[in-house]
Structure 1
Amino acid sequence: MERLQKVIAHAGVASRRKAEEMITEGKVKVNGKVVKELGTKVSSNDDVEVEGVPIVKEAPVYYLLYKPRGVISSVKDDKGRKVVTDYLPEVEERIFPVGRLDYDTSGVLLLTNDGEFANLLMHPKHEIDKVYIAKTKGIPTDDQLKKMKKGMTVEGEKMKAVHVKIMSTEHKKGTAIVQVILHEGKNRQVRKMFDALGVPVDKLKRERYGSITLHGMNAGDHRPLKPHEVKQLRQQAEENVK
């Protein structure tokens, strides 16, 4: 027997917190009856519906996608633009991205149907390293990099980099390649921080997520995560809780 909100999250319908809201709002049925109690437990024999749609009990799957630029980190787009799941057409399970990379950012994106796993990785207290490489229009100063590490308030939101390092510079072109490591996953965080410093980002790529890299892959490629990689990610998230 498992809690109803956990079953909904595992099915990839919503995060556990969102699932709890759906239950209390009367959007969930068990065996044809609306259930609003958060403590409700269900078994694999129970039929669960969310907003009239039956939950399909799927085995958990985990994928790595090298997300290209110009793709939406979603399972559908009302404007008809390309979405990340378009790159995994053979996957029958109802997968969704773990967090997001913005439209113009490429790199490591994990996809799964395991809501609990996704929530574990995305919570900032679990301190999973997200390593980005940014090409900037302008060369950041040491003081600007220190601001990023110390923490900045951008558009009313506190943002902080765990580590920032200039990898190379082209003084004639006035550009730099900068490595940025985050634990947070706020919307367009790297771009917003550099914009606030007056050093806009030209190109951005996420090179690593925890222990997962793009080794041997090209943009648009995908592969299943190996069991030991899934285990490593879980361990990294659980070990880092303060």
Structure 2
Amino acid sequence: MTNNQDRLQKVIAQSGVTSRRKAEQLILDGKVKVNGKVVQTLGTKVSTDDKVEVNGVPLEKEASVYYLLFKPRGVISSVKDEKGRKVVTDLLGEEIEERIFPIGRLDYDTSGVILLTNDGEFANLLMHPKHKIDKVYVAKIKGIPSKTELNKLKKGIKSEQDILKAVSYNIISMDKKTNTTFLEITLHEGKNRHVRRMMEGLGYPVVKLKRERYGLLTADGLATGEYRALSPKEVKQMRNLALEIVK
């Protein structure tokens, strides 16, 4: 054993196999072995010398990778789709051999910034609601809402079993001739069709939607469908951003 040890669930998450939370459940369910023995104690520490198996498959430690993709409309935010539609990982080059997955999701008809990684710990850090990472959208909506109506976005719009809220909004422009409005909307949560359902609840359906910013990151310099690797500085900044917000 070396002195460089990490908790078992963290090691599993960082391998890209699954999220940290699901890794914890796999351990509790007896699906994880360390050096041939089933381990069901959360917090067990392992080193790089230990042989870890998940569901009978040896864990291969991949180097952590992080990418930003400018997702086009008409692409699924997943690694596979049962209907055979194009998914975000289809847009990445063949030189990327790691088992990467999207952090969160963007709706099929929504474009913009989405992050992909094989680092489950990093993904969980950014997605957890308590970390309150800003997700900034620009929406083109049908109609000219009043400020009184728009203020309801911050109070919450009831949709099915959810209360959908925006952290803030800004009116970019209104066009009475075309009867359309452009809004900038900031969210912390990311429920299914969050912005679209909020605006439908107000009676102003979304015509077009784009996520402009995720935390500190934008798609500036990228064409639709293009991607780039995050720099080590950007990865560190995103980690720090999440951790600072929690304090």
Q: Aligned residue for 2:173? A: 168
Post-superposition shift, 1:135?
0.9
Aligned match for 1:62, one of 62, 66, 90: 66
> Which residue pairs with 1:23 in the alignment?
27
Aligned pairs (5 A) from 1:222-233: 222-233=227-238
Match of residue 9, structure 1, among 7, 13, 23: 13
Instruction: Report the equivalent of 2:47.
Output: 43
Could you say what secondary structure the match of 1:143 adopts? helix
Please give the secondary structure, in 2, of the residue aligned with 1:107.
strand
Contact 2:75/2:85 (<8 A) preserved: yes
- Letter in structure 2 aligned against 1:109: I
Deviation string, structure 1 residues 103-148 (Cα, Å, up to 9, x no partner) = 1111000111111111111112222111100111222221221000
Counterpart of 2:97, as a letter, is E
C-alpha spacing 1:47/1:79, structure 2 compared with 1 (3 Å): farther
Query: Which deviations, in whole Å up to 9, do the C-alpha atoms of 1:12-31 show, x marking residues without a partner?
Result: 22221111111111222223
Residue ranges of structure 1 left out of the alignment (5+ in a row)? none
Partner residue, 1:111: 116
Instruction: Specify which of 99, 103, 122 is matched with residue 94 of structure 1.
Output: 99
Once the two structures are TM-superposed, the CA of residue 198 in structure 1 deviates from its matched residue by 1.1
Q: What SS does structure 1 have at the residue aligned with 2:151?
A: helix
Q: Which stretches of structure 1, 4 residues or longer, exceed 6 Å deviation after superposition?
A: none
Are 1:237 and 2:239 matched, yes or no?
no
Report the identity percentage: 67
> Secondary structure of 2:80's match?
coil
The Cα of 1:8 is off from its aligned counterpart by 1.0
Please, which runs of 5 or more residues in structure 2 have no aligned partner?
none
> Matched residues in 2 for 1:78 and 1:8: separation?
26
- Say whether residues 1:32 and 2:32 are aligned partners: no
2:194 aligned with 1:189: yes
Q: Would you say 1:198 and 2:203 are equivalent positions?
A: yes
Which moved further from structure 2: 192-201 or 39-48? Answer: 39-48
